[in-house]
Chain A
Amino acid sequence: DIQMTQSPSSLSASVGDRVTFTCRASQRISTYLNWYQHKPGKAPKLLIYSTSTLQSGVPSTFSGSGSGTEFTLTISSLQPEDFATYFCQQTYITPDTFGGGTKVEIK
């Protein structure tokens, strides 16, 4: 199975900050990389698919980039509702696998 590694595992930031998370795959996955936001007790929310395509309804403050084995998710200006856990997922090879997540906390 393809292993997905996210860094950092957590970070503290303030409203208005620009934050970037990294997701690394154990082998090349082309651009089959998706990002989700997950809040406690709620269903995960798809933010970005195919590395950089913004899911409908997701604010343009979110953006994704990368290819091969290294990918990034950037939030250009952190909003109060963005404090959550973010995880990546590869859908290049079955089984789909997920990263361990990056928890964004309020500084």
Chain B
Amino acid sequence: QVQVVQSGAEVKKPGASVKVSCKTSGYTFTSYYIHWVRQAPGQRLEWMGIINPSGGNTTVAQKFQGRVTLTRDTSTKTVYMELSSLRSEDTGTYYCARGLGYSNGYDNWGQGTLVAVSS
């Protein structure tokens, strides 16, 4: 069955970077886009970006351009999201999710990775 498993919680200081992994299994890795979404405490979900695991091409939300890098490793069927120049407002739960087609929602989500940014 399809599985999407994310790396564990992180605590970072302001200005640092964090890299979250998203390991997939149970389907053809290169056939489905992977989205990244975050939820800050008390806030709604916020789309960060998308990666096509086939070619590696990405689109990042304007808000995060220059700070977010999405990459993938086809040999391990893993996608990565790196967020740099962390600030306290980046504290939240980060999710990766498989896209069901290009615009039919996200059908399999990771369990979420809590990132806490604190001095």
Contacts and interface: CB of A to CB of B under 8 A. Distances in A.
Interface of A: 32, 34, 36, 42-46, 49-50, 53, 55, 87, 89, 91-92, 94-101
Contact of B95 (A44, A45, A49, A89): A44
B59 A43 contact: no
B104 A95 contact: no
B64 to A, nearest CB: 10
Given A43-B111, A95-B61, A96-B35, A50 B104 contact: yes
Contacts of B61: 95
Given A49-B100, A91-B103, A43 B109 contact: yes
Interface residues of B, number: 23
B46 interface: yes
A2 B100 CA distance: 21
9 nearest A-B pairs in the assembled complex, by CB-CB distance: A34-B105, A43-B109, A91-B103, A49-B105, A98-B45, A49-B104, A96-B47, A95-B47, A95-B61
B99 to A, nearest CB: 9
Which label, helix, strand, loop or mixed, suits the secondary structure of the A interface?
A: loop
Contacts of A98: 37, 44-47
A34 B47 contact: no
B104 A34 contact: yes
Given A43-B95, A43-B112, A91 B105 contact: yes
B78 to A, nearest CB: 17
Given A98-B45, A101-B44, A55 B109 contact: no
B53 interface: no
B109 to A, nearest CB: 4
A89 B62 CA distance: 18
Contacts of B47: 94-98
